[in-house]
């Protein structure tokens, strides 16, 4: 059974704090790692799709790293703002299915207080 | 604007009734997906379709059916055989290739009367 673990489950920080979350996934049969941001009452929005070991991606104050050998990815938010409050999902894409099968973690819920 | 539209936002099902959730996309994407979310669990794949007139079962297809008669549309029917249908349902689509991000609708929350 494939398992994608995200930690912490939830996080409450103050505006201006920097924070990071972890996504752990199986290191075998890796194809890609997706990160999504899901704000309340909205649809999940893609942040990054990462494929290469050692890959780093950045979008504004948010960045992500990938280690496929040990099976983890970190998502960093620098100087958190209240508008960053959302659930952050990671999803592991298998390499041998012939289609984009994503296995999702349960998410990290971030609350940023002003 | 391009995107995915799911309707209705809320749906109530009576015992023994089939209900259909609508999903329409204008992104010109070939692949479409249906996911289910339950409390404390990650999104789970119900069905997916890679092209028109073709679809495959995902991990939890029992009690559900789909059709893909048009590229833009991928409706999901929750049949009376689905004994625990109360959940939040998300539709998604993706473009060509296996490393494209998925685009999601706003979801439909289904409850039992």
Query: What are B59-76's pLDDT values in tens digits?
Result: 999 999 999 999 999 999
Is residue B98 very low, low, confident or very high in pLDDT (cuts 50, 70, 90)?
Answer: confident
Which residues of chain B neighbour A104 with C-beta distances below 8 Å? 35, 42-44
A-side interface with B, Cβ within 8 Å? 4, 31-32, 34, 36, 41-46, 49, 51, 89, 91, 93, 99-107
Is residue B1 very low, low, confident or very high in pLDDT (cuts 50, 70, 90)?
Answer: low
Q: How confident is the model at residue A3, as a pLDDT? A: 87
H helices present in chain A, as ranges: none
Q: How confident is the model at residue A1, as a pLDDT? A: 63
Q: How confident is the model at residue A16, as a pLDDT? A: 97
Q: Would the pLDDT of B2 be above 80?
A: no
CA distance B57 to B59: 7
Q: How confident is the model at residue A96, as a pLDDT? A: 64
Q: Would the pLDDT of A35 be above 80?
A: yes
Residue whose structure tokens are 């099902």: B13
CA distance B79 to A89: 29
Q: Would the pLDDT of A97 be above 80?
A: no
Other Cβ atoms within 10 Å of B75 Cβ, number: 16
Q: Would the pLDDT of B8 be above 70?
A: yes
Q: Identify whether the C-beta of residue B90 lies closer than 8 Å to the C-beta of residue B75.
A: no
Q: Identify whether the C-beta of residue B70 lies closer than 8 Å to the C-beta of residue B77.
A: no
Q: How confident is the model at residue A90, as a pLDDT? A: 97
CA distance A33 to B33: 18
Q: Would the pLDDT of B112 be above 70?
A: yes
Which residues of chain B neighbour A36 with C-beta distances below 8 Å? 101, 104
CA B36 to chain A, closest CA, distance in angstroms equals: 11
Backbone angles phi, psi at A82, to 5 degrees: -55, -35
CA distance A113 to A41: 19
What percent of chain A is modeled with pLDDT above 70?
Answer: 96
Q: Would the pLDDT of B79 be above 80?
A: yes
Q: Would the pLDDT of A95 be above 90?
A: no
CA distance B55 to B48: 6
Q: How confident is the model at residue B73, as a pLDDT? A: 98
What percent of chain B is modeled with pLDDT above 70?
Answer: 99
């Amino acid at each position: 059974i494939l398992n994608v673990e995200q930690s912490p489950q939830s996080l409450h920080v103050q505006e201006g704090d920097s924070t990071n979350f972890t996504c752990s996934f199986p290191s075998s049969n890796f194809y890609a790692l997706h990160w999504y941001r899901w704000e309340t009452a909205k649809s999940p929005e893609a942040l990054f799709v990462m494929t290469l070991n050692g890959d780093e991606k950045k979008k504004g104050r948010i960045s992500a790293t990938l280690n496929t050998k040990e099976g983890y990815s970190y998502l960093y938010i620098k100087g958190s703002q209240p508008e960053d409050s959302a659930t952050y999902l990671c999803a592991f894409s298998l390499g041998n299915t012939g289609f984009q099968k994503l296995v999702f973690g349960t998410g990290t819920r971030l609350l940023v207080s002003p | 604007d391009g995107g995915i539209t799911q309707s209705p936002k809320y749906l109530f099902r009576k015992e023994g009734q089939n209900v259909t959730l609508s999903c329409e996309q204008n992104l010109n994407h070939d692949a479409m997906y249906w996911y289910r979310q339950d409390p404390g669990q990650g999104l789970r794949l119900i069905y997916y379709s890679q092209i028109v007139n073709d679809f495959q079962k995902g991990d939890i297809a029992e009690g559900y059916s789909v059709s893909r008669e048009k590229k833009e549309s991928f409706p999901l029917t929750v049949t009376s055989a689905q004994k625990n249908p109360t959940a939040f349902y998300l539709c998604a689509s993706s473009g060509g290739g296996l490393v494209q991000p998925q685009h999601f609708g706003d979801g439909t929350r289904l409850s039992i009367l």
